[in-house]
Amino acid sequence: MIASIPSAVLVGVDGTQVAVEVHVSNGLPGFTVVGLPDTAVRESRDRVRAALLSSGLSWPLRRVTVNLAPSGMKKGGAGLDLPIAVGVLVASGVIDPGRVEGLAFVGELGLDGSLRGVPGTVALADALRRFRLVVPTESAKESRLAGDVDLLTSTTLAGVVAGLAHQEQWRTASRSSGCGGAGPDAPATGISTGAFGTLEDPHTPDLADVRGQRVARRALEVAAAGGHHLLLVGPPGSGKSMLAARLPGLLPVLSRPTALEVTRIHSVAGLRLPPTGLIERPPYRAPHHGVSPVAMIGGGTSGMRPGEISLAHGGVLFLDEMGEFPVPVLDALRQPLEEGQVRVSRARGTATFPARFILVGAMNPCPCGEGGPPGRCRCSPVSRERYARRLSGPLLDRFDIAVRVERPESDELLGPAGGESSSVVAARVARARRRAAERGVGVNAQLPAPALADLAPMSRAAVAVVERSLRSGALSGRGLHRVQRLARTVADLEGAGAVLEEAHVRQALVLRPPRELLSRGEGQ
């Protein structure tokens, strides 16, 4: 007898519907899975058999063939366990085919017959929207994020089989138990998804912990408000990582569509989601410089996994010791930085991952770390220049802001903790972002150059300041647009009007020192 059960697998961050066809026939007892299964799917043979037996169901002593259609596409993940098990039961006549009509299944089986959640349930549920969906209870919250899906949940395979016999009852049970995370035999979970908008998170580090660093603080605030990429240059111990870790706390809560996108990516990557199921806070990713290109960009041999740049989508990607990252990894960042997404192409297929984040780079000024003002460091000029060249020009150009961070002086460390807390700054940032949004452009960092004349006109005094920098060579013609965008953000932060004043431009110039910030000082 034959059964066809709808399910889904992940391709990138999206789900794709697949049909699990099970054929049970006379012949030598055996179990074959065909249709480009990956290792996890092939192993599901043993899990499914054990789970059926543990659940008190019988295993057909006949020839069982499972085909995953469409058969041209590689299928991965343990989420096909449940549909295979149900298919075997239907094909061997244990379950009446009519009872699984219009149902789709996703879930991993334990040897004891329990049901486990699988990564990326949001995307899978989205792909199976037109079916009534059976998922493990632990994936219920996530599945619900896909929107209006009709869910049936259970914690065991036996629960699914029992539920199929009494579907109306099961549905009511699933729905009536709060967010619906319960099969007939499952305890009510009672998770509320209505608690959006809470900002308080005791684990987010606060800006008030940072002593001194007025220029760097300002840089963080402007970066948060305008979505500008930020480069921090300073000796070891000057607090570069400390500053970077405080940037997510200045960003506003994610909008609902972005939050869904971010949740989807994190879910696909198998990362832990917050108790509400939805990631509302901007993520913060700080990969070590040993990261491989695939881990950074995305891809992988079995299925396409999102890389760090996509896990940082909507939030902050912090690259400490940027000069230590392999050059291919850094150069691979350039295109995603420009487009806000990354297209990963492999022989088996192509996946597009969103990747719009604020890049924060941190670097020592030179190999010995002491560099900066001339006379302080002892590196040879050649090694300093070689160090500076590790960031290619095009990558360096992506940074709108570059500031020097110095070690705080001792009386600053001992003095009273000064400076505003993250919540005060975040409020200003949120206001500035609203102003920018009113102009119809997402963030100021993305203001197109032709629009600058209209959206960021400069007063006469401001033009004079810019002219001076242009003439002295401190500012290139190309840098001019960046200064305008930065000044626009500064003006938004201060609640100023449409015209950029001299003070705004000056701050922008302070935040964007020339490119030689990294290279050697002035030699002869």
**Which residues contact another protein by CB under 8 A?**
212-216, 218, 233, 370, 372-381, 403-406, 409, 412, 465, 468, 472, 474, 502-503, 506-507, 509-510, 513-514, 516-517, 519, 521-524
How near is the Cβ of 121 to another protein at its closest, in Å? 48
- SS3 category, 135: strand
Q: Which is nearer to another protein, 324 or 516 (CB)?
A: 516
**Strand pairing partners for 33?**
66
Nearest CA-CA partner of 315 in 371, 360, 374, 351 = 360
Return the beta strands (E) in 336-434 as ranges.
341-346, 349-354, 358-363, 401-404
Q: Which is nearer to another protein, 308 or 400 (CB)?
A: 400
Q: Which is nearer to another protein, 288 or 378 (CB)?
A: 378
How near is the Cβ of 445 to another protein at its closest, in Å? 20
Q: Which is nearer to another protein, 304 or 405 (CB)?
A: 405
How near is the Cβ of 42 to another protein at its closest, in Å? 58
Torsion of CA 150, 156, 158, 159, to 10 degrees: -40
Q: Which is nearer to another protein, 130 or 378 (CB)?
A: 378
How near is the Cβ of 517 to another protein at its closest, in Å? 5
How near is the Cβ of 413 to another protein at its closest, in Å? 12
**Strand pairing partners for 318?**
360
Q: Is the dihedral of CA 418, 250, 263, 10 positive or negative?
A: negative
First to last CA, the chain: 87
Distance of CA 105 to the CA centre of its chain: 27
How near is the Cβ of 466 to another protein at its closest, in Å? 12
Q: Which is nearer to another protein, 453 or 461 (CB)?
A: 461
Q: How many residues does this entry show for the chain?
A: 524
**Strand pairing partners for 124?**
none
Q: Which is nearer to another protein, 48 or 465 (CB)?
A: 465
Tokens coding 140: 């219920």
Q: Which is nearer to another protein, 12 or 371 (CB)?
A: 371
Q: Which is nearer to another protein, 110 or 514 (CB)?
A: 514
Q: Which is nearer to another protein, 197 or 375 (CB)?
A: 375
How near is the Cβ of 512 to another protein at its closest, in Å? 11
How near is the Cβ of 477 to another protein at its closest, in Å? 19
Q: How far is CA 17 from CA 126, 149, 263, in A?
A: 10, 15, 20
How near is the Cβ of 387 to another protein at its closest, in Å? 14
Tokens coding 422: 């993250």
Q: Is 349 left (phi over 0), alpha (psi -120 to 50) or beta?
A: left
Integer-rounded Cα Rg, in Å, for the chain is 28
In one-letter notation, the amino acid at residue 435 is R
What is the C-alpha separation between 243 and 234, in angstroms, rounded?
12
How near is the Cβ of 406 to another protein at its closest, in Å? 5
How near is the Cβ of 432 to another protein at its closest, in Å? 17
Kind and range of the H or E run holding 30: strand 30-34
Q: Which is nearer to another protein, 133 or 500 (CB)?
A: 500
Neighbours of 195 (CB within 10 A): 11
Q: Mention every residue, 6+ apart, whose C-beta is less than 8 A from residue 85.
A: 48, 51, 52, 109, 157
How near is the Cβ of 475 to another protein at its closest, in Å? 12
What is the C-alpha separation between 299 and 312, in angstroms, rounded?
15
What is the C-alpha separation between 227 and 362, in angstroms, rounded?
17
What is the C-alpha separation between 492 and 223, in angstroms, rounded?
12
Nearest CA-CA partner of 8 in 112, 119, 99 = 119
Q: Which is nearer to another protein, 338 or 409 (CB)?
A: 409
Q: What are phi and psi of 233, to 5 degrees?
A: -120, 125
